[in-house]
Chains A and B, each alone.
Chain A
């Protein structure tokens, strides 16, 4: 478990900044401090929280908020598929607990250490994973609470909610590494710009569909060249 804590510690600084930004953003989006605390404890997913806040402030329909939450969390489904062989023999309660509390850095740290392990699902691996998720949870919740307190003090004219938009950008840009991904981002960006006056913020859905289509189209067009 201590090994896991040691391995995850460099990522905790980024997590702390992110936590403060998310805490501030919740209050600046119009949540009461109590609502913001409940959101942080229950949802525990920075990107989903930052994505949902503008939708909640605009009064978007609940199903669209749910759909947006699922879409930005989809990466965890992929992570879960990779982690599954390590945890399949645990009881369902433990799997629910470990899955619910897993975050990006715990996945990255765990897989970079055990991806090629000959034996999957050992005692040592389970405790290493616990060692990565517990400090992440504590740091995230503590810094979110600091952000919530700050959000109530700092005046609106400082536009700290803009920090949330910047934080989302800081999260996105490192993933724009290939032409299909770049095409996908450009297509969804143009769609989002043109459709933002659609009712109920449904333009978001159009942006996702067009973005996926553009990414897959460019990917398919470039594939035969590689095979030849």
Chain B
């Protein structure tokens, strides 16, 4: 695991992110104007970043063995199906966890 100095630095920087994004416009909104093009680009950025985090967790790529497929992908697919059916975020989380545990038990992993 990483050193405490590294982890606390990351935590302080993330707190700064919260302050800049949430209070930035409140504090300096008198001086800022966002162009339409920039606003449009900003709309896509958060989802693209979240996708960039989630995909490597579901489809890891081993340095030697190449792309990996494991039961997490199966569990996530089932969870998305449950969400599209019920529109309930809580059920997505629960069904994904249960699907992972059950499929591991079935496949004996």
Contacts from A to B (Cβ < 8 Å): 13-14, 17, 21, 30-32, 35, 38-39, 42-45, 47-52, 54-57, 59, 62, 65-66, 68-81, 83-84, 87-88, 92, 95-96, 98-102, 158-160, 162-163, 165-176, 180-181, 184-185, 187-189, 191-193, 196-197, 203-204, 207-208, 210-212, 215-216, 219
8 Å CB contact of A169 from B20, B80, B90: B80
Since A14-B89, A215-B43 are in contact, a sample of 14 more A-B pairs with Cβ atoms closer than 8 Å, ordered by chain A residue number, is A13-B90, A14-B90, A73-B17, A76-B21, A80-B23, A81-B29, A92-B27, A99-B19, A99-B24, A166-B76, A181-B43, A193-B55, A211-B45, A212-B44
Number of A-B contacts (CB under 8 A): 275
8 Å CB contact of B6 from A62, A69, A76, A169: A62
Contacting residues of chain B (34-64) with chain A, CB-CB under 8 angstroms: 34, 39-61, 63
Return the chain B residue nearest A47 by Cβ.
B50
Report if A71-B45 is in contact (Cβ < 8 Å); known contacts: A81-B34, A163-B93, A185-B51: yes
8 Å CB contact of B79 from A17, A54, A166, A211: A166
19 A-B Cβ contacts within 8 A? A35-B7, A35-B8, A42-B12, A50-B53, A72-B50, A81-B34, A159-B97, A165-B76, A166-B92, A166-B96, A169-B96, A170-B83, A170-B90, A171-B89, A180-B44, A188-B49, A189-B52, A192-B52, A216-B41
Contact-residue bracket for chain B: 35 or more
Question: How distant is the Cα of A47 from the Cα of B18 in the complex, in angstroms?
Answer: 11
Contacts of B56 in A (CB 8 A): 54, 192-193, 196, 203
Contact across chains for A219 and B40 when beta carbons are under 8 A apart: yes
Return the chain B residue nearest A210 by Cβ.
B48
Contact across chains for B42 and A74 when beta carbons are under 8 A apart: yes
Contacts from B to A (Cβ < 8 Å): 1-2, 4, 6-27, 29-30, 32, 34, 39-61, 63, 67, 72, 75-76, 79-80, 83-84, 87, 89-90, 92-93, 96-97, 100-101
Report if A84-B11 is in contact (Cβ < 8 Å); known contacts: A192-B51, A196-B56: no
Residue from A38, A173, A191 with most neighbouring chain B CB atoms (10 Å): A173
Contacts of B101 in A (CB 8 A): 158
Contact across chains for A207 and B48 when beta carbons are under 8 A apart: yes
Contact across chains for A39 and B14 when beta carbons are under 8 A apart: yes
Contacts of A73 in B (CB 8 A): 17-18, 20-22, 46
Contacts of A69 in B (CB 8 A): 13-14, 17-18
Contacts of A56 in B (CB 8 A): 2, 6-7, 10
Question: How far does the Cβ of A109 sit from chain B's closest Cβ, in whole Å?
Answer: 16
